[in-house]
Amino acid sequence: MKMMKKISFALMAVASVMLTGCLKDNGNILTSYGVGTIKQTAMGTKYIQFDDSRLCIQSEQINPDSHVNQRVFTGFTINWDEQPASANQDGIYAATLNGEADYFTVGECNAFSEQNNAAFSTSDSLLDMSTPYITYLYDKVNNIITFQTAMYETETGQPTLQLMKGISGLHEEGSIKTDTLLLVFDQGDIKKTSKKYPWKSFHLPYYHENVTIVFKIKAHNLSFNATNPKGTDYYTFNVQYTKPEEN
């Protein structure tokens, strides 16, 4: 059951491809996994809307204590031949959840402060991290960045991970505008005999225009291509933010 949380970071790209393909062309049953957001119908039924594909599924296995806008990573199976009549109207499909779902909340990005860069300089290093990706939301709220991490379990307490702005405003060089975001990790009192692989999401700062986001990350290993600037103990990774069109 817990193996769902330990899926290789590289395989997560495969999940995205599966979800964004022609779902019904794979036969009468679809089995996949992905990250999504808890939503709720007007009648109070909770469902999951997956990132990118916007596929929506409903299951009695969704944690009743989960709340709207909470995030979740889960495996699932859809049998297209056994769908309620309402699926054709509301686009929410009945599904079975596979494995142990990982529910997590969306953190906020700390506003710029001179102390942010000092905090990053003393940040602990993650064991690993998957490629960060942006989910564009269309309900007048800040868009979010999501990734999976690898870290040691702790003897007491919980590790903390914060996203902080590293510069005031935006840096402009010609027509290119960039923002710097810092991932600050406090691993706490680690227990090196076991590891965990939590998912994380953070609201991005509100951008009025297209921006190149420069992430600074400390990690022992990264499962994607990133740059290690000479003479530093961190990696940098660029993510392109494209401002969504207004509805």
Which among 165, 161, 159, 160 is positioned nearest to 116, based on CA atoms?
165
The residues, ordered by sequence, that sit 6+ positions from 231 with a Cβ below 8 Å of its Cβ are none
58 closest CA partner among 42, 45, 73, 69:
45
Predicted local confidence at residue 240, as pLDDT: 94
Q: Any idea which residue has 């564009």 for tokens? A: 136
CATH class of 2-104: mainly beta
Handedness of CA 16, 42, 200, 107 (dihedral sign): positive
pTM of the predicted protein model: 0.85
pLDDT at residue 14, as a whole number: 41
Angstrom CA distances, 104 to 74, 172, 196, 199, 213, stand at 11, 34, 14, 7, 23
Q: Where are the domains of the chain?
A: 2-104, 106-241
Q: CATH topology of 2-104 equal to that of 106-241?
A: no
Give me the CATH code for the 106-241 domain, please: 2.60.40.2370
- Assigned token pair, 48: 């999951």
**148-164: buried (b, 16+ CB within 10 Å) or exposed (e) per residue?**
bbbbbeeeeeebebbbb
pLDDT at residue 53, as a whole number: 84
Identify the pLDDT of residue 140.
Answer: 54
- Digit-by-digit pLDDT tens for the chain (247 residues) are 343 445 444 444 444 434 433 444 445 899 999 999 999 999 999 999 999 788 999 999 999 999 999 999 999 999 999 999 999 889 999 999 998 999 999 999 999 999 999 999 999 999 999 999 999 876 556 799 999 999 999 888 889 999 999 999 999 988 899 999 999 999 988 877 789 999 999 999 999 899 999 999 999 988 889 999 989 999 999 999 998 876 5
